[in-house]
Amino acid sequence: MGLHPAIAAVRRGVRGVLAPLAPGQAVLVACSGGPDSLALLAATVVEAREPGLRVIGVTVDHGLQEGSADQAARVVAQMAALGADETASARVAVDPAGLGPEAAARRARYAVLEQMREHFGAALVLLGHTRDDQAETVLLGLARGSGGRSIAGMRRGYDHYARPLLDVARDDTIAACLADGLDFWDDPHNHDPGYARVRVRTRVLPVLEAELGPGVAAALARTADQVRDDVEALDDLADAALRELTASAAAAGTVGLAVDDLRALPRAVATRVLRAAAVAAGAVDAELFAVHVTALHRLTTGEVRGEVQLPGHLSARLERDAPGSARRLRFGPSSPPVAG
């Protein structure tokens, strides 16, 4: 009998991201014990053999459920049994204050994965997000009005991270585990309607598939790829514009971004420049939302006056170096409140 189609699909995705790596390099696989990440680990162990890569299986215990430590130990044993060269587990403290449990858990998880990557000297960290996860991300972004960056969904790869399964359906990862005889974990949180993503998964997508026909999840994932191309092109233009504006200010012996030059940029580029400049000045990236960037843009176009308050105790204002000189957008500490 030939290789099961679901196993072949998972391995094909993994093979593509491992291809650029050199023999002896380490690959870290984040594994929760669910079908997606377990299928990913199994495929990585197989695909890493010929190029001579080291596979390190890592599981993260968020401590959010009773028995989570036992589950982490079980996953470590599974990863070792599947042939991972090394295994590791880490328990993280999740503080949902200001973020919510999902976002806080994600932040803690990625922080410890980065620590593990550095500890093991891994060239790549593989994440088990599937095409269905991508479709859910796009729908959530649409519902929240989060703009093109959110609709572009999850990136296929960035820095030392890669998502090999974004072209693989969740049903295929389940089928791959069943075909391989792998006993995967069904996380209770994946069925909790208190989470917006679970409601999208169990209620919204099934209705769309029923009313519009099959293939909605795949179409949403394709949309993410197409929008991602546009978003990244705009980001590149914005990066180049910000470098040019910063260099121009330095050459003139001043600081801040020339307002006239900002106004000359297309809005889609200008808002990206403003966001990047705010973050570089000390604004808190995770708390810098569209409302802040819109306010910055309106300040530069003259639609609003005064200061724009930004997260991170930062404000932006328009200033001149001398009377009659060109205005510049400058960032600085927020002005203290005026006593009543």
Give the start-to-end residue ranges of the domains of the chain: 5-224, 252-333
| CA separation for the pair 269, 38 (Å, rounded) | 41
Does the global pTM surpass 0.85?
Answer: no
Task: Find where tokens 């999208």 sit.
Answer: 200
Residue with tokens 């297309």: 266
- Scanning 215-325, the segments in alpha helix (DSSP H) are 216-251, 259-264, 267-281, 290-301
- 198 burial level (CB within 10 Å; 0-12, 13-18, 19+): middle
Closest by CA position to 55, among listed 31, 90, 72, 35: 31
Q: What's the start-to-end Cα distance of the chain, in Å?
A: 81
- Category of 13 on φ-ψ map: left (φ > 0), alpha (ψ -120 to 50) or beta: alpha
What is the DSSP annotation of 209-225?
Answer: HHHH-TTHHHHHHHHHH
Q: What is the pLDDT of residue 336?
A: 59
Q: How far is CA 332 from the centre of its chain?
A: 29
Q: Quote the CATH superfamily of domain 5-224.
A: HUPs (3.40.50.620)
Average pLDDT for runs of 10 along the chain of length 340: 90 96 96 94 96 94 73 91 92 66 76 91 96 92 76 90 96 95 86 87 92 90 90 93 94 91 95 94 83 94 91 91 90 68
Confidence (pLDDT) at 312:
87
Residue type for 92, please? V
Per-residue confidence (pLDDT) for residue 287, from 0 to 100: 78
Among all chains, which residue has been given the structure tokens 């009377």? 323
* Residue 63, CA atoms < 13 Å, CB-side half-sphere: 11
41: nearest Cα among 23, 62, 27, 25: 27
Q: What angle is formed at CA 174 by the lines to CA 169 and CA 179, rounded to 5 degrees?
A: 120
Q: What is the chain's length?
A: 340
Taking CA atoms, 230 is separated from 130, 149, 218, 237, in Å, by 22, 9, 19, 11
Angle between helices 35-47 and 170-180 (to 10 degrees): 60
Give the residue among 306, 328, 325 at the shortest CA–CA distance from 255.
Answer: 328
- For residue 312, give Cα distances in angstroms to 282, 287, 333: 7, 8, 9
The answer to whether 304 and 331 are in contact (CB under 8 A) is no
Assigned token pair, 170: 């969740």
Order of strands across the sheet that contains 157-158: 86-91, 54-61, 26-30, 124-126, 161-162, 157-158
Tokens of 290: 């569209």
3-class SS of residue 329: strand
DSSP 254: -
Distance set, CA 270 to CA 111, 274, 282, 295, 299 (Å): 31, 6, 19, 12, 12
